[in-house]
Structure 1
């Protein structure tokens, strides 16, 4: 995992989780507590409610990214930039300032006048953005998005058949598309990846967000720190049947889980509470590494065959190797004696092991390849064990 130096602030596995507080200077922004058009009042809010509560980074938005509003042009964003610049000049606290924009010209002006990093919600749709950030030696958060400055975050609207291949497009699920969108137009050495949680298009569903969250560790294979923006999001609120104003508890629970799954920056409107939740997640995260005499050993985050395959693929190694090396330990309960004997016999044929635990339970141990082969054999046989084989295959996905 490559750490990023954001104007002296370390972001990555070797550093504490960083909290990104939000300030909006956009009158159309739907979240009123963070919206200011007076630099003095805005600076007071930043000092007291953001930095004072533990924010390491302050993300300043010039316009609302909500799809219900028209997109501002670069010229219109630049007209608002002076409020943001006057604000950060008046802030007394110590933090890194990030400009949220989709335009390289706005990023260039902001970085030239006092901002430290960029939050690009359109994922380098402006092809000049990576160069601008590199020229300023600035960190940049890159949100998964199509190469279209008008459609931030709407990854499923990308013509993947032409950008990748028809075969890839036919087989890719939503999370695959998010992952690939982050790779589009490259990554700088100081890129922080953002998987784009939230309703960025009509086609994106709450289940899409939940699946992205479940598979958050997969994005670590990109080798870059990760930012997540999940504060009070709908995909969390629906689980607990809570409206926005009552979603803080679910947001905090998800924050701890996100940090444990690999997030390094949490973007939030609830700074103090989110900071505490992130620290809990960090305290109970287990990632081993060691360094001595110029040699570094890092244990990669692999908890599933899918994560194993992605880590190999990103390093140019055949992902199929993962299935031969990823271990599976499955406890099975409820098979009768004949079925248990059949499973034991098949396991021995394929190099796996079945170990009885009690009269009703047994353990199936083997690589993903061997267990998959057993599942396929059972599924193909037209008997009482075919349904069990299909269930076994489903567990391995």
Structure 2
């Protein structure tokens, strides 16, 4: 999704045009010509320090956007960025194909307009306030906000990255990005707008002008984590980064039987992600024995090293027998460990590639988070070091 702004107050100058002819040339050459599938037209700046335009003021600017659309020769989906259903209705009636609602249906008439026109609409997580788009900080609150006022059959979800409120921190955005897969729990396409955002720039200490590389790195990661649409001012480079992310995302099974039974492997890496999908299908309260279904969706593998004989014995006992938690412990071959250390030294190293301290043993502990926690409880008191390590694992979270 390439960006065109027809608002002189927009913060990123290269995308700002108020002359329809110049704007059309920019769209044809820099957006569609560089690979944009969607052209998103903003009528006002997202700068939270500026006054919010009224619907009437946005409608006054719509003529420039429509003239630009009519003057371009390239083929793309045209999106109008607005919070008002009146503007969306007028824009769609005059040729726009979709809506980018930065207030997340705070205007309750927006879903109706989009349904009546049968167009896609991007819904950005926001409080129910037309003057406070994106003003939500906590990732769980962002997730819940996307369900407010419902969705249409063609709704795309946007978790609202960026400094939309003074209270939102870079850490808030980073946590949302870290947990981006959770938003797939809605079963809807995701739109991610992270181009040159400050929560990325500050990681590498870059200015807006220098921030393209960090944006591209995050773009690949976002696509790999499930983003379907990337909103950007740098179309050609972002397209390449998105293609790389898509190429290296793990292939997941999807198939359908002849009688209509279908299966799709979900991209679930944490218990919270599994909980989102369970909630989506109305099975969030399901239980499996003493462990929740969400917990059993995730299996972790930990390599333990420096284990003494009592620790090895305790781990074996805790993972054996019919009443043991759903975890496994596999002890490494000491001869293999010695040969690896010797080979490392022969290659000019000092054996540092092997983490196990001298005299210690290595093994793999495999299980769900709950099962690993149960093993921790079963072996408690055998070894202070093992207690500390397994306690850290439990605190690491899901």
**Is the TM value for this pair above 0.5?**
yes
Partner of 2:264: 298
Deviation at 1:147, TM superposition (A): 0.8
Residues in 2 aligned to 1:132 and 1:351: alpha-carbon distance in whole angstroms = 51
Partner of 2:211: 247
Partner of 1:62: 43
Contact in 2 for aligned 1:376/1:389 (Cα 8 Å): no
Distance 1:325 1:61, change over 3 A: closer
Deviation at 1:65, TM superposition (A): 1.2
Deviation at 1:217, TM superposition (A): 0.9
Residues in 2 aligned to 1:62 and 1:214: alpha-carbon distance in whole angstroms = 31
Distance 1:130 1:380, change over 3 A: farther
Identify which of structures 1 and 2 has the higher relative contact order when contacts are C-alpha pairs closer than 8 Å and 6+ apart.
Answer: 1
Partner of 2:4: 23
Partner of 1:11: none
Q: After TM superposition, which residue ranges in structure 1, 4 or more long, deviate above 6 angstroms?
A: 379-382
Deviates more, 1:317-326 or 1:276-285: 317-326
Contact in 2 for aligned 1:379/1:389 (Cα 8 Å): no
The higher radius of gyration belongs to 2
Residues in 2 aligned to 1:267 and 1:346: alpha-carbon distance in whole angstroms = 50
TM-score normalised to structure 2 length: 0.86
Residues in 2 aligned to 1:383 and 1:288: alpha-carbon distance in whole angstroms = 43
Distance 1:346 1:292, change over 3 A: closer
Name stretches of at least 5 consecutive residues in structure 2 with no aligned partner. Answer: 287-291, 335-360
Contact in 2 for aligned 1:379/1:387 (Cα 8 Å): no
Partner of 1:230: 194
- Aligned-residue Cα RMSD (Å) equals 1.8
Deviates more, 1:341-350 or 1:52-61: 341-350
Contact in 2 for aligned 1:375/1:392 (Cα 8 Å): no
Contact in 1 for aligned 2:311/2:382 (Cα 8 Å): no
Residues in 1 aligned to 2:128 and 2:17: alpha-carbon distance in whole angstroms = 30
Partner of 2:293: 321
Distance 1:378 1:182, change over 3 A: farther
Deviates more, 1:313-322 or 1:344-353: 344-353
Deviation at 1:338, TM superposition (A): 2.5
Distance 1:223 1:325, change over 3 A: closer
Name stretches of at least 5 consecutive residues in structure 1 with no aligned partner. Answer: 1-19, 157-173
Q: Could you report, residue by residue, the CA deviation over 1:137-188 in whole angstroms, capped at 9, with x for unpaired residues?
A: 01000011111111100124xxxxxxxxxxxxxxxxx211111111111111
Within-5 A mapping of 1:158-169: none
**Aligned pair partner of 1:287 in 249, 252, 260:** 252
**Aligned pair partner of 2:316 in 314, 336, 344:** 344
Partner of 1:83: 64
Deviation at 1:347, TM superposition (A): 3.0
Deviation at 1:379, TM superposition (A): 6.8
